[in-house]
Amino acid sequence: MKKKIGVYICHCGGNISDYVDVEKVYAEVRNEKGVALAKITMFACADANQKEMEADIPEKDLDGVVVASCSPQLHLTTFRAVVERAGLNKYDYVHANIREQGSWAHSDNKSGATENAIHVVKAAIAKVRNAESLEPIKISSVKAVAVIGAGVSGMRSAIALAKAGCKVYIIERDHFVGGRVAQWENLFSTNETGEEIIKRLYNDTINNDNITLYTGAQVLSQSGNIGSYRLKVQINPGFVRNSVYSYEMDEAISVCPIKIPDLFNFGFTQRKAIYRNHSGQLPIMAVIDDENCTRCGDCEKVCKDIDFSQQKKEINIEVGSVLVASGFDTYTPKNNEFGYCVIDNVITLPQLKRLVAMSDRHLEYKGNRIKNIAYIYCVGSRQLDGENKYCSRYCCTAAIHTATEIRRKYKEINNYHFTRGVRTYGKQEIYYSEALKMGDVFMQSFDNELPEVLQKGNKTFVKIKDILTEQKELKLQADLVVLVTSMVPRDGISVNDLFKLPKGRDGFLKEIHLKLRPVETVIDGITIAGCCQGPMNLTESVNSALSAATKSYSYVSKGELELEPIIAKVDKEACTWCDACFKACPFDAIIKVEEGFKVFARVSDSICKGCGMCLPVCPKDAIELNSYTNREIEEMIDMLASD
């Protein structure tokens, strides 16, 4: 038990002291059992105060420290480092949050905020009195990273890792790289086309000896933990022997009798069972769609590189960290949502972009020359009654950029934008300004009075109550209605379930903290990058990829990792193995152990996250959590419940 505790109470400028009587808190806690030193400070995190704390600890022979200040998410690490520099174990420090849990929560009740702060600080003192000095868990780490997805984020993060000297395995479920970006022409965040960006990244990828790229691959299973994840990967054959594209391959595609809608072009065109997405698709090879191929043998007759003897194969790889960059899907409007699938000339923005890429002198759709285009914004996002309540962020800029590109390519086009407010944030505002100068017309509706798409005879109209003209009802005859669709989480990504990656309310993968830990997940060693964690434009995706690469590299670079020792521990003498803890553990950290006639549970130190789910289900009370033992918690409760 700690006998000499130092307590530091922070003003936090005025964030705490404006609502909490800091002097009263000091007076109430300075005589608590075990408190040898109590001080008030203006900014506890300031360099001057940190140095003062470092001097106080050896001078007063302190064996425990409490700082009452702001959120531990901001400064727990800061003050742990302070006590370590002064010679204490960092787990002899306890953080008391009297800002978020005191002054900010009770800003309308200063006396209540003060009493609450007193109880929080006393509870922290009770905890540190019983705190155990713990040592970090040290494990070895394989200097390799698996990157899931070979889109822009995946390849860019892999290149950064490889340049740092790390072995990288890229696992892409498609037979081609590039993801969604490969479908687009000019991009609003750069003057390059999607094809040019993908080509540059792909060349950097395959020319780096530290990178191994697997296409047509997926993770079947995983085991292990941070530092040593063991992945079983299935590689599906493309039934083509040579990766170099040839004239014979063109012949093979030509003679193939199977035709199916080409999803790369959103069904505007058809492709064969042996195909390439487009002439610049990478790798430069054709593949055979096993699901639709009838094995008629026509392609084999004209091309020696066809090889139907290829089989699925499984490989095992071991990595220290996994970086997930699995991308996104675009929202598919429901049947008759703004006339989609019911009115012939209603399409989505991604479909329009492919239509423009495939058109030359004039923009035509289903044989009709297009002159007036109506863009309906926020389709699949900002839904009042639907699932997608979030703003997808990139859509406004994508729509406006596409509209201006169309204006440059086809002089006769008129663009009409039906918005709910334009959100071209940052430098992207330039595109909005440019569209206005080019003559684009913008209208705006309220969220609860959306535009309507109507069909009368063979004519299509879009009607809106326009806020910008004092809710005057305006009606436009449109040759083409374009639904500006949002980004949505990608379905069918098995790796999300394999690693038990948490999702946010929007369905995207969830980071620990948007600002403080923006690419880390609660699963140690797993980072996320790009649009799998939320809507982003290309620049933001690259920044996310570089951040995730840096964090993943930090896990594997030293060959050894230090893990938090705040984990569950089992008293094997009291445990009778009822398997309740095994069923409750969300991380599969409980192991059944047999020693002679004794059967009991053991916790895997490197897998346990210290969540505590196993504690309350144990009927024998045989499990405790380091740093949150029964004794610590009970004394804290007693302190909080006291008058």
Mean pLDDT (whole number) for 139-158:
96
Phi-psi region of 310 (alpha: psi -120 to 50; beta: other; left: phi over 0): beta
d(CA 471, CA 478) in angstroms, rounded, equals 20
| Domains of the chain, each with CATH number or no CATH | 5-134 (3.40.50), 144-236+312-327+490-556 (3.50.50.60), 247-302 (no CATH), 330-488 (3.50.50.60), 564-626 (3.30.70.20)
DSSP 275: E
d(CA 171, CA 112) in angstroms, rounded, equals 55
pLDDT in tens, 477-516: 999 999 999 999 988 777 888 888 999 999 999 999 888 8
H or E, element range at 455 = strand 452-456
CB 34 within 8 A of CB 5: yes
Q: How far is CA 339 from CA 253, 352, 390, 453, 511, in A?
A: 36, 16, 23, 6, 37
d(CA 137, CA 567) in angstroms, rounded, equals 10
- pTM recorded for the entire structure: 0.85
d(CA 282, CA 195) in angstroms, rounded, equals 9
Q: In 10 A of CB 605, how many CB atoms?
A: 16
**What is the model's pLDDT at position 243?**
67
Q: How far is CA 13 from CA 18, 44, 227, 534, in A?
A: 9, 10, 41, 35
Q: How far is CA 116 from CA 25, 65, 109, 122, 508, in A?
A: 10, 20, 10, 10, 36
- Say which residue, 314 or 246, is predicted with more confidence: 314
**Residue 146: beta bridge partners?**
169, 322
CA-closest candidate to residue 215, choices 283, 162, 133: 283
What is the gyration radius of the CA atoms in the chain, in angstroms?
30
Q: How far is CA 605 from CA 14, 141, 560, 588, in A?
A: 42, 15, 15, 11
**What is the model's pLDDT at position 50?**
96
pLDDT in tens, 88-125: 999 999 999 999 999 999 999 999 999 999 999 999 99
CB 126 within 8 A of CB 167: no
Residues 6+ apart with CB under 8 A from 140: 227, 228, 559, 560, 561
Residues 6+ apart with CB under 8 A from 163: 208
Q: In 10 A of CB 603, how many CB atoms?
A: 20
pLDDT in tens, 317-371: 999 999 999 999 999 999 999 999 999 999 999 999 999 988 888 899 998 999 9
**Residue 569: beta bridge partners?**
624
Q: In 10 A of CB 568, how many CB atoms?
A: 26
**Residue 527: beta bridge partners?**
323, 520
H or E, element range at 374 = strand 372-379
CA-closest candidate to residue 600, choices 587, 585, 581, 616: 581
User: What proportion of the chain, given as a percentage, has pLDDT over 70?
Assistant: 99
> Confidence class of residue 643 from pLDDT cuts 50, 70 and 90?
low
Q: Which residue has the tokens 């490989």?
A: 315
Mean pLDDT (whole number) for 137-148:
95
**What is the model's pLDDT at position 73?**
85
CA-closest candidate to residue 68, choices 6, 135, 145: 6
d(CA 419, CA 379) in angstroms, rounded, equals 10
Mean pLDDT, the chain, integer: 93
Residues 6+ apart with CB under 8 A from 401: 186, 188, 431
**What is the model's pLDDT at position 32?**
93
Mean pLDDT (whole number) for 250-259:
94
pLDDT in tens, 166-219: 999 999 999 999 998 988 888 887 778 899 999 999 999 999 999 999 999 999
Give the per-residue SS3 of 118-134. HHHHHHHHHHHHCCCCC
Query: In the numeric block, which tokens belong to residue 112?
Result: 């209540």
Residues 6+ apart with CB under 8 A from 578: 619, 620
**What is the model's pLDDT at position 358?**
87
CB 465 within 8 A of CB 473: yes
Query: In the numeric block, which tokens belong to residue 250?
Result: 């063109």
Residues 6+ apart with CB under 8 A from 68: 7, 8, 9, 10, 25, 96, 97, 98, 117, 120, 121, 124
d(CA 147, CA 321) in angstroms, rounded, equals 9
**What is the model's pLDDT at position 191?**
74
Strand stretches in 209-258, DSSP E: 211-215, 217-225, 228-235
**Residue 64: beta bridge partners?**
5
Peptide bond just before 586 cis, omega within 30 deg: no
CB 632 within 8 A of CB 588: no
Provide the residue type at 261 as one letter. Answer: P
Q: In 10 A of CB 120, how many CB atoms?
A: 20
**What is the model's pLDDT at position 487?**
95
